[in-house]
Structure formats: structure tokens, C-alpha cells
Amino acid sequence: MASTEIARQAGEGARAVPLSGHVGFDSMPDQLVNKSVNHGFCFNILCVGETGLGKSTLMDTLFNTKFEGEPTQHNQPGVTLKSNTYELQESNVRLKLTMVNTVGFGDQINKEDSYKSIVEFIDAQFEAYLQEELKIKRTLHSYHDTRIHACLYFIAPTGHSLKSLDLVTMKKLDSKVNIIPIIAKSDAISKSELAKFKIKITSELVSNGVQIYQFPTDDESVAEINSTMNSHLPFAVVGSTEEVKIGNKMVKARQYPWGTVQVENENHCDFVKLREMLIRVNMEDLREQTHTRHYELYRRCKLEEMGFKDTDPDSKPFSLQETYEAKRNEFMGELQKKEEEMRQMFVQRVKEKEAELKEAEKELHEKFDRLKKLHQDEKKKLEEKKKALDDEVNTFKQKKTAAELLLNQAQQAGGSTTLKRDKERKN
């Protein structure tokens, strides 16, 4: 306050010096424009909607370009996101356009987790940008920003109410991306049904707390048109790249047996409104909202998870170094605690293993003793049987020897008797 007062008094007493020529700092806006034009711009669109709602056709119609893309299969078990980047140029302005399509969204029988792949993809782009910001040597000026700037949510033209899948998905995405709801293939229902359908959609979004993107009205130059266009949400669109001759000019249209629907005729659909709001009037605001609102929310949550805050408990300025040291000490403490727990667990397991081994060793010793005793008993029995067998063999040998002796004596006795008989015969 004191410095302001001194400056005011100095200003009152200062002598006004007339400029002798043009200073030129009013050319700053032109310098910024030239720098931005030379650098180019990027814009990323996420198209969310069920298969067959004309997402690719609408993108071709919006940018008046036939984007080449390979046909995708719709038989995956879950939702996959396919990203394609194109280099576009209009006059001397270059635009790096990235279109992300949700392949297989709504094709599954169980659609409960269909939004998860989309949320993970958006968070992955935020995380990549955050990691680039946290680098010591940053290259944000040349970094290809892949954060989603606008989400075109395609609503099926049922004419009844929003599906549960649509409400759940938009509720999960409204804090992460700028959602612009559009009624696809709006020529499938009549004008009266379409007006009622818009009112019903708006009512359901409000009652379920879904925050969609509102075109900004704080800038006086676009406040009136944006305020008017906010009342037309959700836009009812029709896409077509086919040109049909109406009168003396060729226009983009869809032909039916009952008539022709002109894409760029505001009496037929809201395609022109969508193109004006998305590309011509609010493209930069969508980029800015992505950075200042959605990315900042993600960044704040991530840094708070890491323990960073703007002020400490004493409401003093927050020190990044002190926070880093505190988190490092906390991490080292947790690491040492886990290391001690692992060491104690290891010691406990070693003790348990040693006890198991000792028990197993004891069992083995007992088994060995039993087997040894059994072996000794068997050996003793064998020795006894062998002794008995040896005794039988000796007895048998003795009996055999005695038998042989008796046989010899008998033979000798018989021989002497024979000799006596011979002698008697001779005599």
C-alpha cells in the first residue's frame, strides 16, 4: 500500500514527456499471431458413441476432408480407442488434428465398464503432459499435446430418453473433458419429436448432475451468439460427404425417397451451428478450458496424492524442497519398515524351515533306528537258522559216515563168506 501511494505521488509530480515517434508495443498482438501461425495449432477431438451413429462421416463433413482410415472390427470383448492424427491447412494456418474414436462402444452385452477405457485414455494423456512438465529439461514448445480438447458425444435418435450407458459415461467424463452432446442422424425423427427429445435430454442431464460444456459468454464479441447456441444444445446433426444438385448449386445432402436433407441448411439440422461453435468461434476456448480446468484438476489431484500442497499447516508458503525431503524421509522410513518386516518374515520362515527339517531329521533317525533294529533281528534269525541248518548238515554227515562204515563192514563180511564157499567147493 505504501509503495502504491509513493508511485501515485510520484506520478502526480512527474512531468509528462510527449512521444516524438511511434513506440510500437501495440504490435505485440500481431507478433503473437505471427508466432502462433508459424508454430501451428493442435486440436484433439474424442468421438464417443455407439456403432453406426455416423461418427466418421460427421468428422469428414466437419472438416470437409475425406479422412482415410482402416475399417475396424467390432468383435472385441471390450472398448478400444483408436487415434489418428492428420495435418490440415487452411489459408496459411496449419492444424494438427487428432481424432480419437471409441471402437466397440456399446457393442458388448455387459456395458457396465464401457466407460473405463475412455477414462483411462484421457488420464493417460494428462499423465504424459504432466510428466513432460515435471522434467528438468522441458520441451513443451515442441511437445505434441495429445490431451482431449472436445468430446463429441453421439446420442442415438430414439426420441425417448437417454440410455443408462450414455448417462453413466457422460457422468464419468464431465470432469475430465469438454462434453458437447449431439443427436446423431437427427433426420430419423420428426421435428416435433426432435424438439421434445432435446428438452428431455437437457432435463435428464440436469437431474443427473452431468456437466456439459457451455459456450463462454464472458467475451462481449461472442457472448450473444454463444448464449443463443447454448439454448440449442444438444445439437441435432446430419453428416454427409455426398453432393447433390439443388437448384443451381451443389450442396452436401442425404437423399431419401421422400426428399432431400441438406446438411448445411439450418432448417434441416444443426450441423452449421455445431461447425460454427466448435471450429470457428470456440476452438481456442476449448483448448484453454482443457488446460485450465480439466488438466489442472488432474494435476492438483496427482500432486496432492504425492503430498504437495500450496501451504503448510501453519499457512506458510509451501517449500518444494522441504516437501521433497519429507516425502523422501517418509519413503525411506516406509522402505526400512518394509525391509525390517521382510527380514523378520525371512527369519521366521527360516526358523519354521529349520524346525521342519529337524522334525524330518528326527523322523528319519527314528525310521533308521527301527530299520536297524529290524535288520539286526532279521540277521539274528538268519544266524540261528544257519546254525540249525549247519547242525542238521553235520548230523546228516555223521549219519552218512556211519552208514557207509556199516555198508563196508557188511561188504567185507559178505566177501569172506564167499571165499569160504569157494574153497569148500574146490575141496
pLDDT of residue 73: 67
Whole-angstrom Cα distance, residue 305 to residue 129? Answer: 17
Whole-angstrom Cα distance, residue 370 to residue 364? Answer: 10
Q: pLDDT by residue (tens digit) across 397-412?
A: 999 898 888 888 888 8
Q: pLDDT by residue (tens digit) across 16-68?
A: 667 666 667 778 888 888 888 888 889 999 999 888 888 888 888 888 888 77
Average per-residue pLDDT for the chain = 85
In a domain, 237, yes or no: yes
The grid cell for 271 is 450441423
Does residue 54 sit in the same domain as residue 104? Answer: yes
Among 216, 181, 219, 187, smallest CA distance to 200 is for 181
Whole-angstrom Cα distance, residue 56 to residue 144? Answer: 23
In a domain, 13, yes or no: no
pLDDT of residue 3: 46
Domain that holds residue 253: 37-306
CATH at 140: 3.40.50.300
Does residue 144 sit in the same domain as residue 196? Answer: yes
pLDDT of residue 70: 67
Does residue 138 sit in the same domain as residue 177? Answer: yes
pLDDT of residue 6: 45
In a domain, 260, yes or no: yes
pLDDT < 50 stretches in the chain: 1-7, 9-10
Q: How many structural domains compose the chain? A: 2
Does residue 121 sit in the same domain as residue 179? Answer: yes
In a domain, 320, yes or no: no
In a domain, 421, yes or no: no
Q: Kindly provide the b/e burial profile for residues 241-272, where b requires at least 16 CB atoms within 10 angstroms of the residue's own CB.
A: eeeeeeeeeebbbbeeeeeebbbebeebbbbe
pLDDT of residue 69: 66
pLDDT of residue 151: 94
The grid cell for 27 is 504490435
pLDDT of residue 15: 67
Does residue 279 sit in the same domain as residue 333? Answer: no
Whole-angstrom Cα distance, residue 237 to residue 197? Answer: 13
Does residue 334 sit in the same domain as residue 257? Answer: no
Q: pLDDT by residue (tens digit) across 209-266?
A: 999 999 988 888 888 898 889 888 899 998 888 888 887 888 888 888 888 888 888 8
CA 13 to chain centre: 65
pLDDT of residue 10: 47
DSSP 63: T
Q: Is the pTM here over 0.85, yes or no?
A: no
Task: Report in angstroms the alpha-carbon separations of 109 from 79, 106, 220.
Answer: 12, 8, 48
Does residue 150 sit in the same domain as residue 59? Answer: yes
pLDDT of residue 21: 66
